[in-house]
Amino acid sequence: MAADRIIVFDTTLRDGEQSPGISLNPAEKLEIAHQLARLGVDVIEAGFPIASPGDFEAVQGIARAVGGPVICALARAHAADIERAGAAVRDAERPRIHTFISTSDIHIEHQLQSTRADVLAQARAAVAHAKSLCEDVEFSPMDATRADAEFTASVLQVALDEGATTINIPDTVGYAMPLEFAAFLGRLYELVPDLRDVVLSVHCHDDLGLAVANSFAGLQAGARQVEVAVNGIGERAGNASLEEIVMLLETRKADVGFSTGVNTREIARASRLISRLTGYAIQPNKAIVGRNAFAHESGIHQDGVLKERSTYEIMDATSIGLEANALVLGKHSGRHALRSALEELGFAIDGAALNAAFKRFKEIADRKKQVTAMDLEAIVTDELRVTTSAWTLAWFDVEASTRRPPHARVALRTADGDEIEGDFHGDGPIDAIFRAINAATKREARLRDFRIDAVTGGQDALGEASVVLELGGSTGSGQGVSPDIIEAATLAYVRALSNAERRVLEAAEASEPADELSPTP
Amino acid sequence: MAADRIIVFDTTLRDGEQSPGISLNPAEKLEIAHQLARLGVDVIEAGFPIASPGDFEAVQGIARAVGGPVICALARAHAADIERAGAAVRDAERPRIHTFISTSDIHIEHQLQSTRADVLAQARAAVAHAKSLCEDVEFSPMDATRADAEFTASVLQVALDEGATTINIPDTVGYAMPLEFAAFLGRLYELVPDLRDVVLSVHCHDDLGLAVANSFAGLQAGARQVEVAVNGIGERAGNASLEEIVMLLETRKADVGFSTGVNTREIARASRLISRLTGYAIQPNKAIVGRNAFAHESGIHQDGVLKERSTYEIMDATSIGLEANALVLGKHSGRHALRSALEELGFAIDGAALNAAFKRFKEIADRKKQVTAMDLEAIVTDELRVTTSAWTLAWFDVEASTRRPPHARVALRTADGDEIEGDFHGDGPIDAIFRAINAATKREARLRDFRIDAVTGGQDALGEASVVLELGGSTGSGQGVSPDIIEAATLAYVRALSNAERRVLEAAEASEPADELSPTP
C-alpha cells in the first residue's frame, strides 16, 4: 500500500451502535455492512460479540456474507471476550480481533479497580491469545490521551512483542486538542520505535467538536488508519464522521497528499441508510451530509456554470452521490421495472423480499402520483425491518378534533397469526394509538423519543416516523414509512415494541449484562 | 481586557438566520438577542439591515432594547448598505458596523465582476464611511483563505488606515485546515504589522468539519475575537458552534489559558430556544448540546460520585445548565405560580403575554398531568410566534383510518376576525389538513419540510411540529406545540403560512431582492 494511503476503519456498527436507543437487528446490520463494503471502507468493526447472542450472530453473519473489507470484532482484554470475538469473525475472508484495556490511571483506579502491573500483564495475555486465533490483531490502550505516555508506551511495547499488527490510540473521552494529540503520538513514536513497523491508528470522539481535526492531526503525525463512523454517530457526541474525514482528504488532496479507497459517490446513500435504520436524524447544518451542506440544495439558484459555482462551493454535490436521481416510477410500473430500479439503487432484492417491496410500492403508488428514487430507498429500507417482528399492524381507526378527545382503535397480528385489538381515548391521536397498542399487547411500554420527518419535499412526500421506547429496562427503536404520518407512526411504534421485546428476551439469556461492558474506546 | 480574554461575537441572528427556511420575525429575534445577552456574548451581530425593512426593524429593535453586548449590523462595501446599517444600530449602547468585500480573485472575477484596484478603493471608501457613522468598525476580506495574502494584506492596511478597529478573517467557503489557517494569519501579521494594534477575529465555516478547530488555531495564532453561532447554524454547513468553542476553552482552560465572558450555564437554554424558533433540529450526537452529549443523559447509570464520573465525562452537564429542573406545575397552579416559574426560567412576561401564556398553560395542564420546566419553555416560546399572524387556527376535525382516505375540515380566523373554512380528502390526515388550510386561505403553498419531535420523553410529552413551506417564491417556517401532534402540525402550518405571506409582502417593498445579497462572509 502506498505510504500516503489511509486505511478507513468504520465503527458505525460497533461504537455507533452503542449509542442510546439504537437497536439494529442482524438483518439491518448486514444491510449496513453491505453498504459499507460498497462504500469501500477497508475495515468494518462489526460489533462486540460478548455483549449478547444477538451481537455474536450479527458479527458472524457479516463475516460470512460480506466480502472485501477486513471484518473486525471488539473484545476486552479477557479470555472469554477474545474467544467469542475470534469465533464470530473466524469465517471472514480477512478477520481481525480488536482488543483493548485502559492505560490511564483514572480508569485503572476507578473503572478497572486494578494496578498498572496488572494492566500490563492483561494486555500481554490478551494480545497473545488473540494472535493465537487470528493473524490480524489490533490493540487499543483505552483513554490513552489522559494516560501517562511512558506507561502507555510500555503497554504498547508488550502488545507489539506479542504480535499486534495495528496499534490504535483512542481519545476515549474526546478531551484532546489537535497539536497536543499530534505531540502525544510523536512522543509514543520516540518511546516505542517498533511502532514504525505496524499501522498506527487514531480513534477520536467529538465531545469538544474536535474529532475530525484530532484525527487529521493524527494522520499528519504518522497514523495511517482512522477510525470513523457514518454521520459521526457513537457514544456521547460520537466518533469522527466518516464523510467529513474522507471529503477533507479528498478536497485537500493536492495539499496533504493522502488518499483513501472510499467511493465518495456512495456517501449520501450510506448516510441516509444509517440515519433511517438507527432513527438518528442528521441536522440540516451537518457538514457534507446535512440538507444544507451544498449551496445548490439550499435555494441559491443552480443555473451558474461549474466555474461560477466554485465561488461558493468547494465540493460538488455529485461527488457524494447527491445528484438529482431522475428515476421515477408510477402506479402502472410493474414488478420488473421495480426490480431494475432497485438494482440501479444498489439493492439486489428477489423472491419474497421483492414481492413484499412490490406490494408496498403498489400501495404507495396508489396514493402518490410519483414514486422517486428516494421514496424507493425508504420503502425498501423499511421492508428490511419486518423480518423479526413479534407483532405487525393489521388496521387502525382514529378520530381527532379540537372539539373532543381523540379516540383510537387498533388491531395487531401476532407471530402466530392471531389478531388482537386495543382501544384508547388519549391526549392526541398518536398518543391514543400508542396506548391502544400497549392495551392490545398488554405491554407497559414507555415512549422515550418520537420524531416524524418528510422523506422528500412536496405536499405528497412520504412521512418517516421514528419511535424509541422503553420496555422492562430495555430500549427499542422502530421506524415506519407511509404517505400517512399516523400510519408511519403506528408502524414505527409496533416495530419499536417488537424490537424492545426481542431485547428483553435476549437480555434474559445474555452472558453478562450489557451495562457492564461500558465504556469502550 | 486581559490578553487571554477572547471576545465572543455571535452571528446566530445574521449568518445563522441566512440558513434556508429560517424566517424569524422581529419579536423572535429580540427574544434570541435577550438570551444571547444573558449568555454573556460580547458582540451580537443582529442582522443585515439592507436586506429588507423587516431586517432593519429587527436590528433597530435589538439596538434599542438589548443592553450589555455590542450590537453589530452587517453591510457590503456600498454606501447604501452602510447608511442602513449605521441607522439601524445608532441607538445601541455600543454600536458596531461590520463591512466586507471579497479579496479572492475567484470572487472578484466571478461574483463582483470587478478588479483588485476597484476592491481596494471600495474597501477604503466603505471603512471611511462606516467610521464617519460609528467609532467601532469591523472589516472582513471575504473568502480571504482562498485569496492572495499580499493583496489581502494591502486591503487590510487600507482598512486600518481608515480606522477599522476589528479585522475579521473569514474562511467563507470552509476550505481551510488548522495549521494552514494559523500560518495564513501569521503571514498577515508579518505583512501588516499594524494588525497588532487592533483586534484580529476569525470566522470559520464547517464545510469540512473543521470550523471549531480552525477557529481555535486562529486564537492560538493571535486572534482575540471568534465569530460563532449557537448550534453551529449558518450558511451551508454553518459556522463554528458557540457552545463547542466556549466549552473547549473552558474545559482546557488550564492548558490553553483563554477565557470568555460567557455564562456557560445559559448554553442549554440558548440552544433550545434557537432550535425551537428556527425549526432547526439538533442531532442526538451533536457535541455539547445533543441529547446524548452527556453520558448521564444516555442511560449510563447516574449513581457514581463525581470522581468516578470523570472516568467517562470531561464536562459536567450542570455546567451548561442541563441540571434536571425540579420545577413542575399542575392544573391547579395559578397565574402567580406560572409567573414565578417563568421568572425562574428567565422569561419576564407580563400583561397580555402573561394572559396568553396562562391560557395555553391551562389548556395543556388539563390534558397533561405535570407541566415541566421544559414544557413551559416550549409554551412560552410558542406564544412569541403569535404576534404577526395573518391567520390563526379556530378549529379542525380529522378522521384517519387504514380503511378509507382521511378527511379533514379546518376553520381559520383572519386578522379581521372573520372565520374561513376549508376541507380536503388527502393521502394522510396531516396532508388533508394542510390542503384544507390552502383551500381556506386560497393560497397555493407547497410543503418543503415537515418534522415533529417530542419536547420531553414520556407518553404524555408535548409534540413540537416544524413546517417549512414555499409561497410565491418566499419560504416561511412555523412551529407549533401541543399534546396533540395533529394540532401541533396544524398550528405550525398556519404560522408558516402567515410568515411566508409576510415575506411575500416584504419582498414586494424590499430595496433589492434578497437573492442578490448572497453570499456573505
Of A175, A236, A244, Cβ closest to residue B293 = A236
Contacts of B233 in chain A (CB under 8 A): 285
Interface contact B403, partner A, CB < 8 A: yes
Interface contact A451, partner B, CB < 8 A: yes
Q: Which one has a higher pLDDT value, A492 or B12? A: B12
Interface contact A408, partner B, CB < 8 A: no
Rounded to whole angstroms, the Cα distance separating B256 from B215 reads 14
Span A231-243, average pLDDT: 96
Indicate whether A304 pLDDT > 60.
no
The pTM of this model reads 0.89
Interface contact B213, partner A, CB < 8 A: yes
Interface contact A330, partner B, CB < 8 A: no
Confidence band of A307 (pLDDT split at 50, 70, 90): very low
pLDDT tens digits, one per residue of B472-509: 877 788 888 887 888 888 999 998 898 888 878 877 76
| Pick among B459, B475, B491 to test the A interface (most A CBs inside 10 A) | B459
Indicate whether A111 pLDDT > 60.
yes
Here the cell at position A299 is: 435555494
Alpha-carbon distance A72 to nearest alpha carbon in chain B (angstroms): 24
Rounded to whole angstroms, the Cα distance separating A358 from B382 reads 43
Q: Measure Cα distances from B2 to A183, A387, B96, B214 in Å.
A: 28, 63, 21, 23
Indicate whether A139 pLDDT > 90.
yes
Residue of B nearest to A206 (CA): B287
For chain B, how many residues are written? Answer: 521
pLDDT tens digits, one per residue of B121-171: 999 999 999 999 999 999 999 999 999 999 999 999 999 999 999 999 999
Indicate whether A514 pLDDT > 60.
no
Contacts of B143 in chain A (CB under 8 A): 311
Q: What is the interface pTM, i.e. ipTM, of the complex?
A: 0.88
Span A422-437, average pLDDT: 87
Q: What is the mean pLDDT of chain A?
A: 88
**Chain A to chain B, count of Cβ pairs less than 8 Å apart?**
353
Here the cell at position A51 is: 455483549
Cβ separation of B395 and A406 shorter than 8 Å? no
Report the SS3 class of residue B158.
Answer: helix
Instruction: Count Cβ neighbours within 10 Å for each residue of A73-103 and write b for 16 or more, e otherwise.
Output: bbbbbbeebbbbbbbbbeebebbbbbbbbbb
pLDDT tens digits, one per residue of B85-119: 999 999 999 999 999 999 999 999 988 889 999 99
Confidence band of B302 (pLDDT split at 50, 70, 90): very low
Rounded to whole angstroms, the Cα distance separating B510 from A392 reads 54
Q: What is the mean pLDDT of chain B?
A: 88
Cβ separation of A287 and B207 shorter than 8 Å? yes
Identify which of A239, A119, A233, A109 has the alpha carbon closest to the alpha carbon of residue A172: A239
Indicate whether B238 pLDDT > 60.
yes
Cβ separation of B212 and A207 shorter than 8 Å? no
Here the cell at position B364 is: 395543556
Q: Which one has a higher pLDDT value, A252 or A448? A: A252
Asked whether the beta carbons of B444 and B459 are under 8 A apart, the reply is no
Cβ separation of B428 and A251 shorter than 8 Å? no
Q: What single DSSP character describes residue B306?
A: H
Alpha-carbon distance A107 to nearest alpha carbon in chain B (angstroms): 6
Interface contact A69, partner B, CB < 8 A: no
Parallel, antiparallel or unpaired: strands A95-102 and A43-47: unpaired
Confidence band of A386 (pLDDT split at 50, 70, 90): low
Asked whether the beta carbons of B219 and B226 are under 8 A apart, the reply is yes
Interface contact B296, partner A, CB < 8 A: no
Confidence band of A126 (pLDDT split at 50, 70, 90): very high
Confidence band of A300 (pLDDT split at 50, 70, 90): very low
Q: CA torsion, points B377, B380, B385, B388, in degrees to nearest 10?
A: -160
Contacts of B447 in chain A (CB under 8 A): 454, 457-459, 461
The pLDDT of residue A326 is 56
Contacts of A449 in chain B (CB under 8 A): 291, 454, 457
Confidence band of B296 (pLDDT split at 50, 70, 90): very low
3-state secondary structure B332-343: CCCHHHHHHHHH
Cβ separation of B397 and A403 shorter than 8 Å? yes
Contacts of B256 in chain A (CB under 8 A): 177
Q: What single DSSP character describes residue A244?
A: H
Cβ separation of B368 and A292 shorter than 8 Å? no
Rounded to whole angstroms, the Cα distance separating B471 from B443 reads 8
Interface contact A322, partner B, CB < 8 A: no
Residues A177, A181, A182: CA angle, nearest 5 degrees: 125
Contacts of B221 in chain A (CB under 8 A): none
| Complete DSSP assignment for B484-502 | SHHHHHHHHHHHHHHHHHH
Rounded to whole angstroms, the Cα distance separating B87 from B104 reads 30
Here the cell at position A74 is: 471488539
The pLDDT of residue A517 is 55
Parallel, antiparallel or unpaired: strands B328-329 and A225-228: unpaired
pLDDT tens digits, one per residue of A59-108: 999 999 999 999 999 999 999 999 999 999 999 999 999 999 999 999 99
Q: Which one has a higher pLDDT value, B503 or B300? A: B503
Of B280, B285, B398, Cβ closest to residue A237 = B285
Interface contact A310, partner B, CB < 8 A: yes
The pLDDT of residue B149 is 98
The pLDDT of residue A515 is 47
| Pick among B205, B308, B311, B392 to test the A interface (most A CBs inside 10 A) | B311
Here the cell at position A482 is: 407511509
Alpha-carbon distance B230 to nearest alpha carbon in chain A (angstroms): 12
Here the cell at position B493 is: 402550518
| Pick among B484, B487, B493, B517 to test the A interface (most A CBs inside 10 A) | B484
Cβ contacts of A363 within 8 Å, gap of 6 or more: none
The pLDDT of residue A359 is 84
Cβ separation of B213 and A208 shorter than 8 Å? no
Report the SS3 class of residue B264.
Answer: helix
Q: Measure Cα distances from A247 to A264, A289, B51, B490 in Å.
A: 8, 11, 34, 40
Indicate whether A210 pLDDT > 50.
yes
Cβ separation of B173 and A312 shorter than 8 Å? yes
The pLDDT of residue B304 is 38
Neighbours of A52 (CB within 10 A): 21
Interface contact A406, partner B, CB < 8 A: yes
Residues A287, A289, A291: CA angle, nearest 5 degrees: 95
Cβ separation of A293 and B174 shorter than 8 Å? no
Of B172, B252, B449, Cβ closest to residue A177 = B252
Asked whether the beta carbons of A154 and A130 are under 8 A apart, the reply is no
Report the SS3 class of residue B202.
Answer: strand
Interface contact B423, partner A, CB < 8 A: no
* β partners of residue B465: B452, B480
pLDDT tens digits, one per residue of A335-376: 888 888 888 777 777 788 788 888 888 877 777 667 877 788
Confidence band of A306 (pLDDT split at 50, 70, 90): very low
Contacts of A403 in chain B (CB under 8 A): 395, 397
Cβ separation of A431 and B313 shorter than 8 Å? no
Neighbours of A427 (CB within 10 A): 24
Half-sphere exposure of A358 (CA within 13 A, CB side): 16
Contacts of B299 in chain A (CB under 8 A): 20, 475
Contacts of A452 in chain B (CB under 8 A): 450-452, 485
Interface contact A80, partner B, CB < 8 A: no
pLDDT tens digits, one per residue of A436-466: 999 999 999 988 878 887 766 555 667 888 8
Rounded to whole angstroms, the Cα distance separating B136 from B165 reads 6
Confidence band of A308 (pLDDT split at 50, 70, 90): low
Confidence band of B519 (pLDDT split at 50, 70, 90): low
Q: What percent of chain A has pLDDT over 90?
A: 55
Span A4-21, average pLDDT: 93
Asked whether the beta carbons of B67 and B77 are under 8 A apart, the reply is no
Interface contact A175, partner B, CB < 8 A: yes
Residue of B nearest to A102 (CA): B311
Rounded to whole angstroms, the Cα distance separating B208 from A315 reads 10
| Pick among A101, A184, A258, A283 to test the B interface (most B CBs inside 10 A) | A283
The pLDDT of residue A105 is 94
Identify which of A44, A69, A38 has the alpha carbon closest to the alpha carbon of residue A59: A44
Contacts of A221 in chain B (CB under 8 A): none
Q: Which one has a higher pLDDT value, B454 or B8? A: B8
Positive or negative, the Cα torsion across A111, A114, A117, A120?
negative
Cβ separation of A286 and B285 shorter than 8 Å? no
Q: Which amino acid belongs to residue A70?
A: V
Phi, psi for residue B214 in degrees, rounded to 5:
-65, -40
Asked whether the beta carbons of A282 and A265 are under 8 A apart, the reply is no
